[in-house]
């Protein structure tokens, strides 16, 4: 599958040249860059720092003279170019880099045409522009220069509640929730959501900190997110273990295999939460079952007081005795 093609359009009047590397690096996450254009009045001394970056990063400068005081010709030129590019059909998305609310309508119009719109700007960017974008990224976060600033982020509790809602809705529809899907759903709900605002490098680390509410587990190659089920009663676990042993038709269940079965059925099962340091100690307290040691590394769960159990025990004793005899004869 080919990468999505994007056009990056930068408003030089509102964005500092110090962000260019962060902008281009961030866009590599989304796809390939087909257009790189920057708009401003290059006769103005304020644009001098941008000039150094144009050749280095192969960005096409678009000159716009400020003919009338109070009128922003740069905004108009950027908007016109965006619509021209849209109608060429050569891109699947746009990255509009500005902290100006004047591009709110443009972002909405592009999305109406099925375009993916990535917005980038400083913290001062109006909420209207942030909300109009598919995703909005704070440039100051990218540079990690906002450590001493107090930000008005969406509260962690709000995000946590949103995650619970997303997972619950999927469960009601018989679906599991993948980590990637969860991230996309959060961005649709809060377009300026960025885990880096909360001091985390990834969504998985952000969720891991809420381990009293959520659990991460892997199924094949997909990382899934689930609600931590504190209501897994000990009775449920014991009943499931007994059922597995009973279905073994008298052969018993290897302890290691039993552990795998438990984690498959209950991904967030942790034996320590039930007051035991090991699974062996946990199962040894289940009535009706007995743990038989076949060797130092193999232990098997069987049903208590059955002829099968006695037969297995006798078989294991004979095997162990035979091994001892072979060891002694080998020494001679």
CA distance 2 to 32: 9
pLDDT score of 181 more than 50? yes
- pLDDT tens for 269-318 read 777 766 677 888 888 888 888 888 866 656 777 776 554 445 555 555 56
Please state, as a whole number, how many other Cβ atoms lie within 10 Å of the Cβ of residue 311. Answer: 12
- What average pLDDT does range 26-38 have in this prediction? 90
- Residues whose CB is less than 8 angstroms from the CB of residue 124 and which lie 6 or more positions away in sequence, other chains included: 99
Least confident among 26-40, 103-117, 306-320? 306-320
Domains of the chain in sequence order = 4-143 (3.40.50.1010), 156-227 (3.30.420.610), 234-331 (3.30.420)
In degrees rounded to 5, what are phi and psi of residue 170?
-65, -45
**pLDDT at position 228, please?**
73
Which pair of tokens denotes residue 275? 């007051």
Please state, as a whole number, how many other Cβ atoms lie within 10 Å of the Cβ of residue 294. Answer: 18
Please tell me whether residue 213 adopts helix, strand or coil conformation.
Answer: coil
Question: Which of the two residues, 222 and 296, has the higher pLDDT score?
Answer: 222
Question: Which of the two residues, 161 and 296, has the higher pLDDT score?
Answer: 161
- Residues whose CB is less than 8 angstroms from the CB of residue 154 and which lie 6 or more positions away in sequence, other chains included: 190, 192, 193
How many CA within 13 A on the CB side of residue 278?
A: 5
- The pTM for the full model equals 0.50
CA distance 6 to 26: 12
CA-derived radius of gyration, the chain = 31
Query: Is the CB of residue 123 less than 8 Å from the CB of residue 140?
Result: yes
- Residues whose CB is less than 8 angstroms from the CB of residue 167 and which lie 6 or more positions away in sequence, other chains included: 177, 182, 214, 225, 226, 227
Least confident among 96-105, 108-117, 198-207? 198-207
Q: Which of 124, 97, 130, 107 is nearest to 10 (CA)?
A: 97
- pLDDT tens for 51-77 read 888 888 899 999 877 654 444 667 888
pLDDT score of 130 more than 90? yes
**pLDDT at position 308, please?**
46
pLDDT score of 9 more than 60? yes
- What average pLDDT does range 133-160 have in this prediction? 75
Least confident among 44-48, 89-93, 130-134? 44-48
Q: 147-171 burial string, b = 16+ CB within 10 Å, else e?
A: eeeeeebbeeeebeebbeebbeebe
**pLDDT at position 13, please?**
86
pLDDT bucket at 109, cuts 50 / 70 / 90: very high
Q: Average pLDDT, whole number, for the chain?
A: 81
């Amino acid at each position: 599958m080919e990468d999505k093609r994007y056009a990056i359009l930068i408003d030089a009047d509102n964005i500092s040249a110090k962000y260019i590397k962060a902008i281009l690096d961030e866009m590599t996450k989304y796809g390939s860059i087909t257009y790189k254009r920057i708009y401003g009045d290059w006769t103005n001394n304020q644009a001098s720092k941008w000039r150094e970056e144009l050749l280095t990063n192969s960005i096409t400068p678009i000159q716009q003279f400020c003919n009338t005081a109070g009128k922003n010709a740069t905004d108009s030129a950027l908007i016109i170019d965006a619509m021209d590019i849209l109608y060429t059909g050569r891109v699947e998305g746009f990255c509009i880099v500005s902290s100006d609310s004047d591009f709110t309508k443009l972002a909405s119009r592009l999305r109406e045409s099925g375009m993916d719109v990535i917005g980038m700007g400083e913290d001062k960017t109006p909420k209207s522009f942030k909300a109009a974008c598919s995703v909005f990224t704070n440039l100051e976060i990218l540079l990690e220069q906002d450590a001493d600033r107090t930000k008005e982020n969406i509260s962690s509790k709000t995000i946590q509640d949103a995650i619970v809602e997303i997972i619950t809705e999927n469960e009601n529809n018989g679906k599991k929730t993948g980590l990637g899907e969860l991230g996309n759903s959060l961005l649709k709900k809060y377009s300026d959501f960025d885990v880096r605002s909360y001091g985390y490098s990834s969504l998985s680390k952000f969720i891991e900190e809420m381990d009293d509410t959520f659990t991460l587990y892997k199924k094949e190659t997909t990382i899934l997110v689930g609600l931590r089920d504190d209501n897994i009663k000990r009775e449920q676990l014991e009943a499931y273990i007994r059922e597995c042993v009973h279905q073994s038709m008298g052969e018993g269940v290897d302890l290691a295999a039993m552990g795998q079965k438990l984690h498959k059925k209950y991904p967030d099962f942790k034996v320590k939460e039930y007051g035991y340091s090991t699974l062996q100690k946990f199962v040894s307290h289940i009535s009706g079952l007995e743990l038989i040691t076949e060797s130092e590394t193999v232990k098997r769960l069987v049903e208590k007081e059955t002829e099968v159990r006695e037969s297995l025990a006798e078989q294991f004793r004979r095997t162990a005795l035979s091994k001892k005899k072979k060891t002694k004869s080998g020494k001679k």
